[in-house]
Copies of this chain bind each other. A is one copy, B any other.
């Protein structure tokens, strides 16, 4: 037929909405800081520059790949700077930019809410799980 099917129209709506979401600043920021390693790196850099190896040690669980990937994306977004000292062996320092520093209060707000309310959340979870022991 010539007219679009319902599913086709739904698909169009979905794509338009996806495009809308991609442009939403808050969505983009959430995608950035919600990354598992991003927040840890930001915190690790919050009180001064750090070497790659320092970060790798401080954030014990991270793999080289993920650490590098995270740092690259943060550099791309202008949140951290990367400075190479052509020594032997090579030395690379990462540091928060002013823009990166401006992000810290937001992180603090998240942390603050979490610490104040996490007990309620955990209690609610327990209650929920106890009331439905079958759904696992």
Point out residues on A near B: beta carbons under 8 Å: 13-14, 16-18, 21, 25-31, 33-34, 39, 59-61, 75-79, 99, 102-103, 105-107, 109-111, 113-115, 117-118, 120-121, 123-125, 127-129
Contacts and interface: CB of A to CB of B under 8 A. Distances in A.
A120 B61 CA distance: 31
Kindly name the residue among A26, A105, A107 whose own CB sees the greatest number of chain B CB atoms within 10 A.
A26
A54 to B, nearest CB: 15
A124 B77 contact: yes
Main secondary structure of the interface of A (DSSP, over half): helix
Nearest to A16: B60
A118 B13 contact: no
Nearest to A32: B121
